[in-house]
Amino acid sequence: MNMGVLLRLALLLLLVAFLANPQAFEPLFAPFAANGAAAIYTQSSLLSLTVSHLSMVAAATIAATVVSVGLAILVTRPSGREFLPLSRSVANIGQTFPPVAVLALAVPVFGFGPIPTLIALFLYGLLPIFENALTGLASIPPSVQEAARGVGMTDTQRLLRVELPLALPIILTGIRLTAVISLSTATIGSTVAAKTLGEVIIAGLISNNTAFVLQGGLLVALLALFIHEGFGLLEGALTRRTRSVQPA
């Protein structure tokens, strides 16, 4: 376990060092560059691309979380319950839409730039969070609900102090899934001129320069890894907290 922590710390340091000073890693990527081409992408700074990539993913994920958790709350209330079966099947159908196709279909409507990417990331991010929020809210034991009602909590109190806290770990799993998928999907956004790390990969594909593909791909993979781990830690902490509350 300690080895794993050390390895992760080392990787994180490596990532930070690479973003701070990409040129220092030039010898590492040079063997992959084709016939003396540049080994490090310099068209835009890798740091600014990373920042813009991450902020796009964050914005889309936050928006998707607000909307889908809101919807999940709505369809699990008595007044919205008739929409539950439909929303389930729409979420299921929606997940079959390929992210690339969503992106391609958004371009004609919204033009080139970051907006189609944001929309595709938002739409594609809705479904995993919605599904998980539904599961989380629906899997609360009836006895717990009953107890909350028994101590005289109002509907709002029950939602905010019982249902949402108990469902939070599962909702977080959904957010984690969305964030990791979005991170990878955002690279495709560069085909429609969004500023993401995909720009580096595409530049590599076009000029046949594996060094670019490698650094773009590795950066995104490392970011995905750390986001995955970060959410994992958060979920673990939350689950421990809920467990320690439950026996009481």
Partner 1 sequence: MTGAGPAETMSAQADDTRVKRRSGLDRLGAILAAIAAAGLAFQPFSLFRANRIVAAKPVGILSALPPLEAWLLVAVVVAACAVLLLRTPPALRLVVSALTLAVLAVAVGRSGMFLTPSSNTYARVAPGGAFWIVAFAFSIALADASVRLKMSPLARLALLAFTGGALWMLLWSGAWDSLSILREYTNRADVFWREARVHLLLAIGSLAGAAVVGIPLGILCFRVQPIRATLLNSLNILQTIPSMALFGLLIAPLAWVAAHVPGASAVGIAGIGIAPAFVALFAYSLLPMVSNTVAGLESVPPQVRDAARGMGMTARQRFFEVDMPLAFPVILTGIRIVLVQNLGLAVLAGLIGGGGFGTFVFQGISQTATDLVLLGALPTVALAFAAAIVLDALVEIANPTPNRSAAA
Residues lying near partner 1 in the complex (CB under 8 A) are found at: 32, 78-79, 81-83, 85-86, 88-90, 92-93, 95-101, 104-105, 107-108, 112, 180, 183-184, 187-188, 191-192, 198, 201-202, 204-205, 208, 210, 213-214, 216-218, 220-221, 224-225, 228
Least distance (Å) between residue 16 CB and partner 1: 18
Query: Are 99 and 188 in contact, with CB atoms under 8 Å apart?
Result: yes
CB atoms within 10 A of CB 100: 12
**For partner 1, the closer CB: 81 or 161:** 81
Give residue 159's Cα distance to chain centre: 25
Please enumerate in sequence order all residues whose Cβ is within 8 A of that of 32, keeping only pairs 6 or more positions apart, or say none.
Answer: 39, 209, 210, 211, 214
**For partner 1, the closer CB: 52 or 187:** 187
Least distance (Å) between residue 55 CB and partner 1: 17
Least distance (Å) between residue 222 CB and partner 1: 8
**For partner 1, the closer CB: 230 or 243:** 230
Whole-angstrom Cα Rg for the chain: 22
**For partner 1, the closer CB: 33 or 168:** 33
Query: Are 231 and 178 in contact, with CB atoms under 8 Å apart?
Result: no
Instruction: Fill in the DSSP letter of residue 43.
Output: S
Least distance (Å) between residue 244 CB and partner 1: 27
Least distance (Å) between residue 104 CB and partner 1: 4
Distance CA 29, CA 33 (A): 7
Distance CA 129, CA 94 (A): 13
**For partner 1, the closer CB: 59 or 205:** 205
